[in-house]
Amino acid sequence: MKHNMIVNKENGVTLIELMIVLVIAAFLVAGIYSLFITQHRSYAVQDQVAGVQQDARVALDIMARDIRMAGVQIGSGSATGFGGIPVQGQNYAIVSTNGGANSADQIGVILASEVSRVTDVAGPDVYLQDNVSVFLTNQFVVFEGMKKIYQIQQIPSLGVDLVNKKITLTEHAPTYARPTEFPGGGRIYCINPITYDINGNSLRRNGQPLAGDGVTTIVEDLQFAYSNDGQNWFNTPPSGDPNMVRINIIVRTAVPDPQDTSFFKPACEDRLREDNFTGCRRRVYTTVVKVRNL
């Protein structure tokens, strides 16, 4: 009599097979993670490129506007002419500091903006139509149509003078007409010196950051050139105040491009090229400004 024997075989994997699967899975996960990191860094770089482009364009527009209006209501010239009377030690409406081959340039412009109208003038006292809070003691002012710059000697803080909106002026060039000759109803302008420079990784306007936070967006360089005819350009104003100013801003990302490390700092005006391949993407923005009032 024969007995049929039934053998139950259990399906499974061996330890070696399991280890092979784990190694393959580890390679796949590592590849996916590496691709994710690369894509993430690439996205971060592209995001920073967009940020530096926006910062540079906004800063360039603001700077161009200020330079374009340099000398408005105060003119140009030396200390013997209207508009050349020193304002904070400056004799011209545009003052440049050339950084040479190793440093960023700086620029200072002087312009006047309307703040009020005059209702009456009595000696050194000027009565205004609007609130005197827009003025500062020792600030320079100019009257519409007068070849004369004055400095605010006193701004009352209490009493009837504040109600009457009166400021007291001192002459800044005695050879010109006194404010008593200025008729009521005319405009009075505040003279505002404005400076642009690079500090660290930021472009500053009057000492306050305008573009570049040093973390995601970096302003690396600021360069200027000047011309009186649009053909011959100089790194400093050729004679007195220029008619045209060429502005150059170099911005870069803070994070290097993970796929390309060939980016370097280009030459710009008299600033030499720097072949330190940091891998950070750079953008150079240039515009030419025609100065209207010089």
Bridge-based pairing state of the strands 187-199 and 217-227:
unpaired
Residue-number span of the structural domain to which 136 is assigned: 48-290
* pTM, to two decimals: 0.76
Residue type, 27: F
pLDDT of residue 86: 66
Rg (CA), the chain: 32
pLDDT of residue 108: 92
In a domain, 10, yes or no: no
In a domain, 28, yes or no: no
pLDDT of residue 80: 43
pLDDT of residue 223: 95
In a domain, 262, yes or no: yes
Residues of the chain short of pLDDT 70, as ranges, are 1-13, 36-49, 51, 77-86, 88-89, 147, 156-164, 172-185, 258
Maximum pairwise Cα distance, the chain: 142
Q: How many CA atoms lie within 13 A of 216 on its CB side?
A: 14
In a domain, 15, yes or no: no
Q: Which residues contact 40 (CB under 8 A, 6 or more apart)?
A: none
pLDDT of residue 244: 94
In a domain, 198, yes or no: yes
SS3 readout for 204-245: EECCEEEECCCCCEEEEEEEEEEECCCCCCECCCCCCCCCEE
CA–CA gap between residue 143 and residue 150 (Å, rounded): 9
First to last CA, the chain: 125
In a domain, 247, yes or no: yes
Q: How many domains does the chain have?
A: 1
pLDDT of residue 212: 83
pLDDT of residue 249: 92
In a domain, 78, yes or no: yes
In a domain, 7, yes or no: no
Kindly list the distances between the CA atom of residue 256 and the CA atoms of 42, 44, 261, 281, in Å, as whole numbers in the listed order: 9, 10, 7, 7
